[in-house]
């Protein structure tokens, strides 16, 4: 792992709000590694908008709703989770913590939720599972130009008990990450799955562009069927959907879930906030399959707004790995707890006793 | 009262505008105590928006209206007041002044208005009344999980001549006050009514979360009837209403007044400004009961805008207690006078001779 | 004139843009006097909006319009002027220059335009006329509570050849000028007309509130007829109109011109920009009488936007007296020339050969 | 060329984004010369808006579009180009580089595109062509008051193989360039074509106002026919169109192309961003002739947005000459490559395989 020194923290973390974690992490990491995680595409206005656009949506408080307490428990594909939150696939978590994805998954499972392992993990999916024999795991696939890699990778995911395959579709090539270019960032850490398949230490010294060069560009609807068959019928979730017709086409082609996302503002520059795109997609999907939402979730109020806008659950990327950096698995768990604590207040003040209540009686108003 | 040192000022204060008082108070108070009063929920954007949203509403000046002078006198529940302003319930006013609520009520009455005493006053309601044998008093109730407390508290209010009971409904649990968490604020002052009932000095060292933990969560429509009966038929005002249907349900369940408010931005985070919610609620209420409005009033123009948007009177929280800190009872009176002076100019320039005129001929325009 | 030292400059001034003059003047004047001229009501957001709201209106350039040159000549009440600009009444111009209104009128006439003398000039209207035997003069009337003053004042205006009487209607009392209050500003200069009528040096040491206290509050439609008769039939212009129905009522009561203005943001706080109010008023007036517009004009583009929004001519207050401070009469002329130079470019680029062309073919678009 | 020292760089340049070039160029140039290139009209809000208005338009990412690669090749008037970008006419490029327009054209041709030479080049059009015997050249005409100049100039363009004549129509006089006025900028370089025609070194010491004074003001529709005939039938492009009816009139009068532009915010002040005007003009033109767009293009996303809004190709002015300053011809080429690299990412992420695809399936959404 070259000379890169990663975090070894293992502790619950004190959180005032999740937005503040970014500054705390920045103070501890090498700039190149930090910005490779934090950064977005182009002028980063989509990245910023992902968060600020939530301010254009107002939640309306409700009174005399006879609410004693609120439950955040929900489920997806039959898997019960304690919060309407799962952990987004984030590549290269060894940059953030020596235990990388092993602790990422451990913390997520401590919080009673589902960990989505990226294709581009530093630890192999076997190592991640070995460190977490019992937790809930989804596998996120970046399809390769090489079919044998795809076969091998899906087989691995199935063998390690992944309960769904997430196909990322908004990254057929790398986004224009100015900070990676400015700092000439090269990964100082190896990518476990790639290294094992290619029989070489394929990560160290690679830039993000090289990584993406291995990836398949021409993703198409037919890939859904392939993944489903190869995985023996696992649910397939299409990640990166922004356009209603694309969601419908994917469902028609067999998709079991739609993940509305703009990749945390890291891929397409000049786009809307992800939350601005959610209502139209949700309207089109019309509850036929579950909708996962990510890109910009930093507060409990954001979760409420996303669910009241049509999502079933949300996913967190940077917040989870910032927690990982600051406290290892327990840090990840602290992030879930903070978001859960904040969401609980919103639910109580809006008279929502359950996640289902947010969907049906949560009142939003346009503040633009 | 531990080592906390509170203000002992007793003097009229010089006010250029009420917004500037916050900085003057901040310079005199311990940060924890100050922010417990000033602070809002979450990222405080709702708190800020409460004030800035008034800038999105334009008042239109009128010409040749044959206006000699304007009167701000009005009344609620048959009580005549000199300004269309009353004092909002604010907990723990001993943080601001050694005479706390005693002076808060005294200053309000000097201004010819109505003081709303909180359940969470530092002085007991008996002490507050004893210091002000003749003034107008409403009592704000935070219902407790214990029925005997509620009975006892309402009886006390009645005995002390409260002319209405205000049931706060937007605080079934505490808001996410980041500054309280950041500074780990614990009240250095005792809560008079709680201390008397629980036979212990229940305030000192408690955090706001503990206070709220004693409170009843499952407030419901039926509580209105209980309060009305227990109080021997006093008017019941539902405070914290944001949603038209909630206002209508409350009125149907017996409410005699609707208090539109978002608790000064201290409870629900991610919500609209209170003033943005007022017109819809007022339209639904349709003059069946009086509407009180608070959250963001800092200027005479805000009062005009709130009344022209459907309120009958407004309430001030932070402005009143900032006046209390800077000048005791006379400071409170100065705040009323400044707001009245500003409102008078607006009324004269819009040709409104009375509060009723503001409601019927006050012209607003959307500046968004 | 107490110890106050005013400007003695007599020189053309170099102007990059008129907005920059404010800073240059601020550097030369006593704060109290400067802010009494610059300042606005309340938080000054209406004052700022008066200028920034022009940015929400876009002018559309035109091509191949066969335009050789553009003329800014126009007329009002049969008086020909070289620019579609006149000088607004501004009180107490001796604060800005030792020759005060005498030079204000001189500079305006050098620019081929009309000077509107305020009731609250430092020099008497006789002195102003004496210094400018030939120029175009309108007289602005603040009606007094005393009828004999009004008679005397109008007679004076007529005797001195005023060609119209401007009745200011948006100042039945003084605005909430925070800077005047903050700096406890008292006029160090005498008000000529008042001093002569009241037989005392009535200006020195008076605050703006005292000045307004002498003024008549209950201005009404019937005053129009009185002024017209007393002045022997001079055109009467109603200044401060913001509301369409008020314009119509004034016209019906005999008004010969409508002056859309919010008094430079100095009277009503919390209002729209004047330019935002102009289109509705102009639509109601429907060319029955000329419309003068002021409040926020700082650039040639603003003049174009105001005329394309329904004004016939615009008026400048602060820009003119800033020019007066920096260069005396020649400074006022320089301001006219700069605005004319800027407007000429806009007219040429939009294919408008005349002021009438701006009204009929000037294209605006809403940029909000 | 007086004492002015211009750049002699000849090197590819490292670009993170094109917006950053402005600061790098500013650090190397004399302020007067720099601002004569960078500056805009009046308060420069139109200049700023040209760029920021792109942020009000959102691009929507597409998924599973089966896209292997994207081609940016397109053509105009039968000329094939590698990017949907050409180089705008920019006067006086010797200010930026000792080889001025010679290198400007060389760099543009290295990028496989078309160079539009201004009438106000420092090198004569013969010199520019001599240095680039084979590249694609358009000629931009500022018509003169003297017909013999126009004849001579068009003949020269034809003789040097210009493939189209661009008639600039939004500059019948110079814009209000405050920075030129503030710094009293005079060109330290000669204007080749003018010097040759007038038989004198007509450039050195002239201000922009003098240059424009030679120009014809009353451009009219009939000029189109004249240019077409004099040039022996070359396509005539009308540059500076903002208004739909003007585009239609020009087409009816024989125009072969419409160039939507606000001259980089340098002419009309107080106008919309050029991109805000494009959709209406494109709708009117309705594909009858090609549309070129400039004013504000700084990123690949801007090119995508302009084409999806109705443009066929875009033009770059400041970005090209900033590249020229920093790296000569190779610097210009680097700018094209950077924009192409950015546009490629957007096309891949939106499933657009060709420029035609952007026009037909590129999805935009209004983010205001």
Least-confidence region, from B213-222, B341-350, B353-362 = B213-222
Query: Is C57 close to D270, i.e. CB distance below 8 A?
Result: yes
At residue B1, the pLDDT reads 45
3-state helix, strand, coil in chain C (%, to 5): 45, 15, 40
Give the residue from A90, B166, B63 showing the smallest Cα distance to C241: B63
Catalytic residue among D35, D97, D263, D302: D263
pLDDT tens readout for residues D277-310: 999 999 999 999 999 999 999 999 999 999 999 9
- Contact residues on chain B for A62, CB-CB shorter than 8 A: 242-243, 246
Domains of chain D: 18-366 (3.20.20.70)
At residue C213, the pLDDT reads 80
pLDDT tens readout for residues C164-183: 999 999 999 999 999 999 99
pLDDT tens readout for residues B164-215: 999 999 999 999 999 999 999 999 999 999 999 988 766 676 777 777 788 9
> B263 catalytic, yes or no?
yes
Residue of C42, C170, C271 with shortest CB distance to B299 = C42
Query: Is D246 close to C68, i.e. CB distance below 8 A?
Result: no
Residue A201: pLDDT band (50, 70, 90) is low
Mean pLDDT of A153-163: 98
Contact A76, A313 (CB under 8 A): yes
Contacting chains of C (3 CB pairs or more, <8 Å) are: B, D
Residue C202 has pLDDT above 80, yes or no: no
Residue C237 has pLDDT above 90, yes or no: yes
Residue D119: pLDDT band (50, 70, 90) is very high
Query: Is B250 close to A69, i.e. CB distance below 8 A?
Result: no
Residue of D59, D64, D305 with shortest CB distance to A221 = D64
At residue D65, the pLDDT reads 97
Residue A205 has pLDDT above 70, yes or no: no
pLDDT tens readout for residues B213-238: 889 999 999 999 999 999 999 999 99
Catalytic residue among A35, A97, A263, A302: A263
Residue A75 has pLDDT above 80, yes or no: yes
Q: Which stretches within B207-354 are classed as H helix? A: 208-214, 222-230, 244-252, 274-285, 300-308, 318-349
Of all residues in chain C, the percent with pLDDT exceeding 90 is 95
At residue C199, the pLDDT reads 86
At residue B140, the pLDDT reads 98
Q: Which two tokens stand for residue A58?
A: 């107002």
Query: Is C170 close to B65, i.e. CB distance below 8 A?
Result: no
| Closest CA in chain D for residue A259 | D63
| Contacting residues for A97 by C-beta, under 8 A, at least 6 apart | A6, A7, A8, A9, A103, A104, A324, A325, A328
Of all residues in chain B, the percent with pLDDT exceeding 70 is 98
- Model's pTM, two decimal places? 0.97
At residue A180, the pLDDT reads 95
Residue of A54, A304, A349 with shortest CB distance to B172 = A349
Of all residues in chain D, the percent with pLDDT exceeding 70 is 98
Q: In angstroms, what separates the C-alpha of C340 from chain D's closest C-alpha? A: 12
Q: What whole-number distance in Å separates Cα of residue C129 and Cα of residue B68?
A: 34
B-side interface with C, Cβ within 8 Å? 16-17, 19, 54-55, 57-69, 299-302, 304-305, 341-342, 345-346, 348-350, 363, 365, 367-368
Burial grade of D152 (CB within 10 A; 0-12, 13-18, 19 or more): middle
Query: Is C61 close to D174, i.e. CB distance below 8 A?
Result: no
- Contact residues on chain D for C305, CB-CB shorter than 8 A: 270
Residue B99: strand, helix, or coil: coil
Q: In angstroms, what separates the C-alpha of D61 from chain A's closest C-alpha? A: 6
pLDDT tens readout for residues D71-104: 999 999 999 999 999 999 999 999 999 999 999 9
Query: Is B349 close to C267, i.e. CB distance below 8 A?
Result: yes
CA dihedral of C354, C359, C365, C367, whole degrees rounded to 10: 90
At residue B210, the pLDDT reads 77
Residue D3: pLDDT band (50, 70, 90) is confident
D-side interface with A, Cβ within 8 Å? 16-17, 19, 54-55, 57-69, 299-302, 304-305, 341-342, 345-346, 348-350, 363, 365, 367-368
At residue C205, the pLDDT reads 67
- Contact residues on chain D for A221, CB-CB shorter than 8 A: 64, 66
Catalytic residue among B35, B97, B263, B302: B263
Residue C140: pLDDT band (50, 70, 90) is very high
Mean pLDDT of C248-272: 98
At residue A1, the pLDDT reads 45
Of all residues in chain A, the percent with pLDDT exceeding 70 is 98
Query: Is D219 close to C304, i.e. CB distance below 8 A?
Result: no
- Contact residues on chain A for D56, CB-CB shorter than 8 A: none
Mutate to test the interface with C, among B59, B349, B358, B364 (most CBs of C within 10 A): B349
Query: Is D276 close to C367, i.e. CB distance below 8 A?
Result: yes
Residue D114: pLDDT band (50, 70, 90) is very high
Q: Which residues of D267-294 are buried (b: 16+ CB within 10 A; e: fewer)?
A: bbbbbbbbbbbbbbbbebbeeebbbbbb
Residue A211: pLDDT band (50, 70, 90) is confident
Q: What whole-number distance in Å separates Cα of residue D105 and Cα of residue D124?
A: 13
| Closest CA in chain B for residue C215 | B68
Residue of D41, D169, D271 with shortest CB distance to C60 = D271
Residue A24 has pLDDT above 80, yes or no: yes
CA dist list (Å): A284 to A57, A241, A281: 21, 12, 5
Burial grade of B37 (CB within 10 A; 0-12, 13-18, 19 or more): buried
Query: Is D63 close to A277, i.e. CB distance below 8 A?
Result: no
At residue B280, the pLDDT reads 98
Query: Is C348 close to D219, i.e. CB distance below 8 A?
Result: no
Contact D97, D103 (CB under 8 A): yes
Q: Which two tokens stand for residue D243?
A: 């208004």
At residue D1, the pLDDT reads 45
- Contact residues on chain A for D17, CB-CB shorter than 8 A: 42-43, 178
At residue A213, the pLDDT reads 80
pLDDT tens readout for residues D176-201: 999 999 999 999 999 999 999 988 76
Q: What whole-number distance in Å separates Cα of residue A342 and Cα of residue B345?
A: 43
Contacting chains of B (3 CB pairs or more, <8 Å) are: A, C
Mean pLDDT of A147-170: 98
Residue D210: pLDDT band (50, 70, 90) is confident
Give me the total of CB pairs closer than 8 Å, taking one residue from chain C and one from chain D. Answer: 109
At residue C214, the pLDDT reads 86
Q: In angstroms, what separates the C-alpha of B366 from chain C's closest C-alpha? A: 9
Q: Which two tokens stand for residue D122?
A: 């420092």
Q: Which residues pair with C336 in a beta bridge?
A: none
At residue B2, the pLDDT reads 62
At residue A78, the pLDDT reads 98
Give the residue from D208, D289, D226, D262 showing the smallest Cα distance to D88: D262
Contact A281, A260 (CB under 8 A): yes
Q: Which two tokens stand for residue D143?
A: 């018509």
| Contacting residues for A58 by C-beta, under 8 A, at least 6 apart | A364, A365, A366, A367, B270, B271, B272, B276
Contact B248, B227 (CB under 8 A): no
Contacting chains of D (3 CB pairs or more, <8 Å) are: A, C
């Amino acid at each position: 792992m070259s000379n890169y020194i990663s975090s070894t923290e293992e502790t619950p973390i004190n959180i005032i709000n999740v937005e503040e974690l970014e500054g705390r992490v920045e103070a501890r990491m090498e700039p190149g590694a930090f910005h490779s995680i934090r950064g977005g595409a182009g002028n980063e206005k989509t990245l910023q908008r992902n968060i600020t656009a939530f301010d254009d949506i107002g939640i309306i408080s409700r009174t005399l709703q006879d609410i004693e307490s609120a439950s955040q428990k929900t489920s997806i594909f039959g898997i019960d989770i304690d919060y309407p939150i799962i952990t987004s696939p984030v590549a290269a978590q060894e940059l953030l913590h020596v235990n990388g994805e092993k602790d990422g998954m451990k913390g997520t499972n401590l919080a009673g939720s589902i960990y989505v392992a990226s294709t581009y993990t530093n630890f192999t999916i076997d190592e991640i599972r070995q460190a977490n024999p019992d937790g809930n795991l989804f596998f996120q696939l970046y399809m390769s130009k090489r079919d044998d890699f795809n076969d091998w990778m899906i087989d691995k995911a199935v063998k390690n008990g992944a309960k769904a395959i997430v196909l990322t579709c908004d990254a057929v090539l790398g986004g224009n990450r100015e900070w990676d270019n400015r700092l000439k960032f090269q990964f100082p850490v190896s990518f476990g799955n790639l290294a094992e398949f290619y029989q070489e230490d394929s990560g160290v010294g690679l830039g993000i562009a090289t990584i993406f060069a291995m990836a398949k560009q021409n993703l198409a609807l037919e890939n859904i069927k392939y993944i489903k068959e190869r995985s023996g019928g696992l649910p397939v979730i299409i990640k990166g959907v922004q356009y209603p017709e694309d969601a419908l086409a994917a469902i028609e082609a067999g998709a079991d879930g739609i993940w509305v996302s703009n990749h945390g503002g890291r891929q397409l520059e000049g786009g809307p906030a992800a939350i601005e795109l959610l209502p139209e997609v949700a309207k089109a999907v019309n509850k036929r399959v579950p909708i996962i939402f990510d890109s910009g979730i930093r507060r409990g109020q954001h979760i409420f707004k996303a669910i009241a806008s049509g999502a079933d659950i949300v996913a967190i990327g940077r917040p989870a790995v910032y927690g990982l950096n600051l406290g290892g698995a327990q840090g990840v768990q602290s992030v879930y707890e903070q978001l859960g604590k904040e969401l609980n207040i919103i639910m109580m003040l809006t008279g929502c006793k359950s996640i289902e209540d947010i969907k049906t009686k949560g009142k939003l108003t346009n503040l633009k």
